[in-house]
């Protein structure tokens, strides 16, 4: 993997299938494979259910889920497709209505086929791979918009947005819960309720926990002085940081470093 490739979502292959009698399965794959029907008709069979499909509709093959799909003999389908994998792919698919038990969509309100023009071949440069990831995320954003997971869309979006804001800004010493609420832009108590329901934690506790987890990684993996570790996770006062770290982990930063990086120096430890 090059430095330009995303570890969270990766395009593996894609293309266009012109009308013919090609069929696949029964079998499984270990990646996602999203198909959009341009013309003609065909059928997807999975989990004992047949799903007839026509122009403007889509189906997805989920990893490790047995499928069988085939074209209509009299009006074989033409479709575009893209294969992909990664943690971000899982999150994006979970935000749609598509599941292993409901792997098809109705007709889209626009032609989505041009958005599938993501990968031409495997012999591409690093910057082209990066663009492929961006185009895949754009494509999946349309599926999230047009075929949302109705039961999760609002809650997941708010909580995920709050968590992402914390992940990107935890190192800012002035960042606090009020900033998270302001960024998510919903009523404070509503966000707090959604966040606790989704994570089992308050927003404040999650912020502290995330900062301490990052601090623990730095103490175990880097040679940074403890003062620098504190500053790197949003604490300007190293003594206050040390107290917060011990409350969370039951160890002072120096003790934690000796446990997980025994040969490291404790220079600048408070």
CATH code assigned at 48: 2.60.120.280
Residue 138 and residue 197 in one domain: no
Task: Classify the C-alpha dihedral 143-145-151-157 as positive or negative.
Answer: positive
Question: Residue 231 and residue 44: Cα distance in Å, rounded?
Answer: 55
Residue 76 lies in a domain: yes
Spatial contact of 113 and 38, defined as CB atoms under 8 Å apart: yes
- Residues 142 and 22 reside in one and the same domain: yes
Q: Do 270 and 232 belong to one domain?
A: yes
Q: Are 29 and 142 in the same domain? A: yes
129 & 49 share domain: yes
pLDDT digit string, tens, across residues 207-220: 999 999 999 999 99
Q: Look at residues 130, 200, 218, 216 and name the one whose alpha carbon lies nearest to residue 163.
A: 200
pLDDT number for residue 122? 59
Specify if 79 maps to a domain: yes
Are 40 and 55 a contacting pair, CB within 8 Å? yes
User: Looking at the structure, do residues 19 and 119 belong to the same domain, yes or no?
Assistant: yes
Whether the model clears a pTM of 0.75, i.e. scores above it, the answer is no
Instruction: Classify residue 1: in a domain, yes or no.
Output: no
Please tell me the predicted confidence (pLDDT) of residue 2.
37
Are 79 and 162 members of one domain? no
- CATH label of the domain that carries residue 179: 1.10.10.60
Domain end marker among 124, 146, 168: 146
Q: Report residue 224: phi and psi, to 5°.
A: -65, 140
How many domains, in total, are found in the chain? 2
| pLDDT score, position 262 | 67
Where in the sequence is the domain holding 169, given as residue range(s)? 153-270
Same domain as 211, residue 123: no
pLDDT at 183: 95
Do residues 262 and 193 share a domain?
A: yes
- CA neighbor of 30 nearest in space, from 72, 86, 109: 86
Report the DSSP beta bridge partners of residue 33: 61, 83
pLDDT (0 to 100) of residue 6:
41
Please list, in sequence order, all residues whose beta carbon lies within 8 angstroms of the beta carbon of residue 63, skipping any fewer than 6 positions away.
28, 29, 30, 31, 32, 85
Q: In the prediction, which pLDDT does 154 show? A: 55
**Beta strand segments in the chain, E:** 10-17, 24-27, 32-39, 42-46, 49-53, 58-61, 67-71, 78-85
Instruction: Give residue 165's Cα distance to chain centre.
Output: 14
Residues of the chain with pLDDT under 50: 1-6, 266-270
Q: Based on the domain organization, do 227 and 246 belong to the same domain?
A: yes
């Amino acid at each position: 993997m090059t430095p330009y490739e995303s570890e969270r979502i990766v395009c593996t292959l894609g293309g266009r299938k012109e009308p013919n009698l090609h069929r696949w399965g029964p079998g499984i794959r270990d990646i996602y494979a999203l198909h959009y029907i341009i013309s003609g008709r065909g059928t997807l069979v999975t989990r004992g259910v047949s799903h007839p499909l026509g122009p403007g509709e889509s189906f997805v093959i989920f990893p490790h889920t047995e499928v069988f799909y085939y074209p209509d003999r009299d009006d074989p389908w033409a479709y575009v497709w893209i294969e992909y994998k990664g943690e971000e792919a899982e999150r994006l698919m979970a935000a749609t209505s598509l599941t292993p038990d409901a792997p098809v969509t109705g007709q889209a309100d626009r032609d989505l086929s041009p958005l599938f023009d993501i990968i031409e071949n495997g012999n591409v440069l690093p910057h082209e791979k990066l663009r492929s990831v961006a185009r895949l995320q754009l494509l999946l954003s349309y599926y999230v918009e047009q075929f949302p997971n109705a039961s999760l869309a609002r809650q997941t979006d708010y909580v995920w947005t709050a968590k992402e804001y914390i992940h990107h800004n935890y190192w800012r010493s002035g960042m606090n819960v009020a900033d998270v609420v302001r960024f998510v832009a919903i009523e404070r108590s509503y966000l707090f309720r959604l966040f606790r329901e989704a994570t089992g934690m308050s927003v404040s506790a999650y912020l502290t926990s995330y900062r301490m987890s990052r601090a623990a990684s730095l103490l175990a993996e880097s040679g940074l002085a403890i003062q620098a570790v504190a500053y790197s996770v949003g604490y300007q006062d190293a003594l206050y940081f040390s107290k917060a770290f011990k409350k969370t982990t039951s160890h002072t930063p120096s003790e934690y470093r000796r446990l997980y990086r025994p040969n490291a120096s404790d220079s600048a430890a408070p």
